[in-house]
């Protein structure tokens, strides 16, 4: 096979996947707006190969439970009741999510969600690139999640948002950020 042709083919596939990653992260941002949590609105979109949406989820209380605004402001109550966006997306899926990708925003999945995603068969996790200093209180949970992803062979992609004038595409995959995350091509 001609190397130049093969390299162009691979580069085109990477660019096409980056475009889909950007689209599905934007959709996850829209889903996050459905959350009643006043402090952190999280959204998740699960897709199967071929870029078909399987399920969506946002952080909120279990179906049928009281979700009055004041329950979200009482942190202990909120933390004990909330179902994370990733878990809601897995539970809402009407088909197996084995072999699927999950797009999560605005922060990566915690260790609790990572174990659910791994057990459900998710093989790829995509989230926006984050400023680690803004999420320091969750750092141990994210580090634990990354360790589990590495052990289970789950690909993790951190996507850096770009201005429309930079690319016209909206986002691009970033390289490793010290946490072991890969860019869209799987390279370090």
* Predicted confidence (pLDDT) at residue 174 exceeds the cutoff of 80: no
Of residues 12, 86, 98, 166, which has the active-site annotation? 86
What would the pLDDT profile of 29-48 be if each residue is shown by its tens digit?
999 999 999 999 999 999 99
Strand partners for 102: 46, 125
DSSP codes, 51-95 = TEEEEEEE-BPPTTS---HHHHHSHHHHHHHPBPHHHHHHHH-SS
What confidence score (pLDDT) does residue 2 get? 75
Give me the chain's average pLDDT, please: 85
Query: What is the pLDDT at residue 6?
Result: 67
Pairing of strands 124-128, 155-161: parallel
Q: Quote the pTM value.
A: 0.82
Residue 1: predicted pLDDT: 57
Q: How far is the CA of 9 from the CAs of 91, 148, 170, in angstroms?
A: 37, 32, 22
Instruction: For residue 86, indicate whether it is catalytic.
Output: yes
Q: Is the pLDDT of residue 112 over 80?
A: yes
Tell me what pLDDT residue 162 has: 54
Contact at 8 Å (CB) between 157 and 120?
no
Handedness of CA 87, 88, 89, 94 (dihedral sign): positive
Q: Name the residue among 129, 125, 124 with its Cα closest to residue 160.
A: 129
pLDDT digits (tens, 9 = 90+) for 2-26: 777 767 777 788 888 899 999 999 9
Mean local confidence (pLDDT), 121-141: 89
Residue 97's nearest CA partner among 110, 79, 113 is 113
């Amino acid at each position: 096979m001609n190397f130049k042709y093969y390299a162009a083919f691979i580069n085109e596939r990477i660019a096409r996947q980056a475009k889909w990653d950007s689209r599905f992260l934007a959709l996850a941002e829209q889903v996050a707006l459905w959350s009643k949590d006043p402090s952190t609105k999280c959204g998740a979109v699960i897709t199967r190969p071929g870029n078909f949406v399987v399920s969506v989820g946002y952080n909120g209380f279990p179906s049928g439970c009281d979700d009055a605004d004041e329950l979200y402001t009482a942190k202990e109550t909120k933390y004990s009741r909330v179902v994370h966006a990733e878990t809601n997306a897995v539970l809402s899926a009407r088909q197996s999510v084995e072999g699927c990708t999950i797009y999560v925003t605005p922060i990566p999945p915690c260790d609790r969600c990572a174990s659910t995603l791994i057990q459900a068969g998710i093989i790829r996790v995509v989230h926006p690139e984050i400023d680690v200093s803004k999420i320091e209180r969750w750092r141990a949970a994210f580090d634990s999640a990354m360790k589990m992803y590495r052990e289970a062979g789950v690909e993790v992609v951190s996507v850096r948002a770009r201005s429309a004038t930079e690319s016209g595409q909206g986002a691009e995959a970033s390289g490793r950020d010290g946490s072991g995350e890969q860019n869209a091509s799987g390279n370090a």
